[in-house]
A and B are shown apart, each in its own frame.
Chain A
């Protein structure tokens, strides 16, 4: 399955892209996805602090990705 991973703020700026499409095997966790992202985007490996959202909700690294999930890497927020 293919998933779209969205980037925002400083990540979007440093990677110079707002999203990336990644082909995954079944039963892949967010933790696995992060490793794939680090290999695919060396700059991503330098980011030290972020949360991950799936379908608009924050999820833990052990979340198993399902077909059609919308994944977003959320840098530290700073609204207000």
Chain B
């Protein structure tokens, strides 16, 4: 499942998964919002997306990962809109016959997401704000 949502990502909603009997590994990755970046105190973040393209790119990444690491399950959920500190902005769920493939797949998916998926975050500080990914504010 691939989803981009304005709703809060609640981990509990995804914990009661039916485990694939062919899987020996089920891994959850949560990207969470940090209260500081580059020495600045972050109050909250806002994410924006070009949704149609982001879904298409996540689908490409997902198909590649499922095929390369023979995954039994892959879900990618990204939140957009305002996200407060210590909330989940990204949830990835991967299961595979052996753990190594799950770990490799998650690292690949997060790296690719940060390279090619059109989602942008803006950090809000006590004294202003900045788009991340610019030369002044690297991702």
Interface residues of chain A, those whose CB is within 8 Å of chain B, are 6, 8-10, 13, 48-49, 53, 56-58, 72, 74-80
- Contact residues in B for A77 (Cβ distance below 8 Å): 114-120, 133, 139
For B, the interface residue count at a CB cutoff of 8 angstroms equals 30
Residue of A9, A57, A58, A74 with most chain B CB atoms under a 10 A cut-off: A9
Name A58's contact: one of B113, B116, B134, B135 (CB within 8 Å): B116
Q: Chain A interface: which of B5-13, B45-53, B66-74, B97-105?
A: B45-53
Asked if A78 and B56 make an inter-chain contact with CB atoms under 8 angstroms apart, the answer reads no
The smallest beta-carbon distance between A69 and chain B, in angstroms, is: 14
* Contact A79 B119, CB 8 Å, known A9-B131, A10-B131, A10-B134: yes
Q: Which residue of A lies closest to B114 (CB)?
A: A80
Q: How far is the CA of A11 from the CA of B122 in the complex (A)?
A: 12
Asked if A79 and B78 make an inter-chain contact with CB atoms under 8 angstroms apart, the answer reads yes
